[in-house]
A and B are shown apart, each in its own frame.
Chain A
Amino acid sequence: MPKLQVALYWASSCGGCEIATLAIGDKILQLAEAADIVFWPVAIDAKYADVENMADKSIDACLFNGAIRNSENEHMAKLLRRKSRLLIAYGSCAYEGCIPGLANFFTAKSILENTYIDAASNDNASKVIPRTLVTVPEGELEIPEFYDTVKTLAQTVEVDYFVPGCPPEESTTWLALEALLSGNLPPKGTVISPPGTAVCNDCPRIKHEKKVKAFHRPYEIIPEPDKCLLEQGLLCCGMATRGGCGAPCPQANMPCTGCYGPVEGVRDQGSHFLTALASIIDSNDPDEIKKILDGIVDPAGYAYRYSLPDSMLRRARVSP
Chain B
Amino acid sequence: MTDFEPKIVAFLCNWCSYRGADLAGTSRIKCAANVRAIRVMCSGRVEPAFVLRAFELGADGVLVLGCHPGDCHYAEGNYKALRRMELLKRTLGQLGVGQDRFRLDWVSASEGDHFSHIVNEMTEKVRALGPFKSKEESKVA
Interface residues of chain A, those whose CB is within 8 Å of chain B, are 105, 266-268, 270-272, 274-275, 277-279, 281, 283-284, 286, 289-290, 293, 296, 298-301, 303, 311-313, 315-318
Q: Which of B53, B80, B87 contacts A274 (CB 8 A)?
A: B87
Q: Is B99 an interface residue (CB 8 A)?
A: no
Q: Which of A272, A278, A316, A318 contacts B87 (CB 8 A)?
A: A278
- Which of these binds chain A: B21-29, B44-52, B110-118? B44-52
Q: How far is the CB of B90 from chain A (nearest CB, A)?
A: 5
Instruction: Mark out the residues of chain B between 69 and 91 whose CB falls within 8 Å of any chain A CB in the assembled complex.
Output: 69, 76, 79-80, 82-84, 86-88, 90-91
**A268-B49, A271-B52, A286-B82 known; A296+B69 contact, CB < 8 A:** no
Q: Which of A267, A289, A301, A316 contacts B83 (CB 8 A)?
A: A289
Cross-chain contact B97 with A274 (CB below 8 angstroms):
no
Q: How far is the CB of A155 from chain B (nearest CB, A)?
A: 13
Cross-chain contact B96 with A299 (CB below 8 angstroms):
no
Main DSSP-derived SS at the B contact region: helix
Sort A-B residue pairs by CB-CB distance and give the 8 closest, nearest first.
A317-B96, A300-B94, A271-B48, A278-B84, A278-B83, A312-B52, A316-B96, A312-B56
Cross-chain contact A278 with B56 (CB below 8 angstroms):
no
Q: How far is the CB of B84 from chain A (nearest CB, A)?
A: 4
Cross-chain contact A274 with B91 (CB below 8 angstroms):
yes
Most A C-beta atoms less than 10 A away, residue of B48, B84, B87, B96: B87
Cross-chain contact B49 with A281 (CB below 8 angstroms):
no
Cross-chain contact B95 with A316 (CB below 8 angstroms):
yes
**A274-B91, A303-B91 known; A317+B80 contact, CB < 8 A:** no
Could you give 29 example pairs across A and B, Cβ below 8 Å?
A267-B49, A268-B49, A271-B47, A271-B91, A274-B48, A275-B47, A275-B49, A275-B84, A278-B83, A278-B86, A279-B80, A281-B83, A284-B76, A289-B83, A289-B86, A290-B86, A293-B83, A296-B90, A299-B87, A299-B94, A300-B94, A300-B95, A303-B91, A313-B52, A313-B56, A316-B96, A317-B95, A317-B97, A318-B96
Cross-chain contact B91 with A299 (CB below 8 angstroms):
yes
Q: Is B15 an interface residue (CB 8 A)?
A: no
Contacts of B88 in A (CB 8 A): 271, 274, 278
Q: How far is the CB of B64 from chain A (nearest CB, A)?
A: 13
Q: What number of B residues sit within 8 Å (CB to CB) of A?
A: 25
Cross-chain contact B49 with A279 (CB below 8 angstroms):
no
Contacts of B69 in A (CB 8 A): 284
In the complex, residue of chain B having the shortest beta-carbon distance to the beta carbon of A314: B56
Contacts of B51 in A (CB 8 A): 271
Contacts of B84 in A (CB 8 A): 274-275, 278-279
Contacts of B91 in A (CB 8 A): 270-271, 274, 299-300, 303
In the complex, residue of chain B having the shortest beta-carbon distance to the beta carbon of A318: B96
Q: Is B55 an interface residue (CB 8 A)?
A: yes
Contacts of A313 in B (CB 8 A): 52, 55-56, 95, 97
**A278-B80, A281-B83, A296-B87 known; A316+B94 contact, CB < 8 A:** yes
Cross-chain contact B94 with A271 (CB below 8 angstroms):
no
Q: How far is the CB of A12 from chain B (nearest CB, A)?
A: 21
B32-60 vs A: 1/0 string, CB under 8 Å?
A: 00000000000000011101110110000
Contacts of A317 in B (CB 8 A): 95-97, 132
Assembled-state Cα–Cα distance A44/B51 (Å): 48
Assembled-state Cα–Cα distance A105/B80 (Å): 28
**A303-B91, A313-B55, A313-B95 known; A289+B82 contact, CB < 8 A:** yes
Given A284-B76, A293-B87, 19 further pairs, Cβ under 8 A: A268-B49, A268-B53, A271-B52, A271-B88, A272-B49, A274-B87, A275-B47, A275-B84, A277-B87, A278-B86, A279-B83, A283-B83, A284-B79, A286-B82, A298-B94, A300-B90, A312-B56, A316-B94, A317-B95
Assembled-state Cα–Cα distance A284/B84 (Å): 12
Assembled-state Cα–Cα distance A281/B80 (Å): 9
Assembled-state Cα–Cα distance A286/B47 (Å): 19
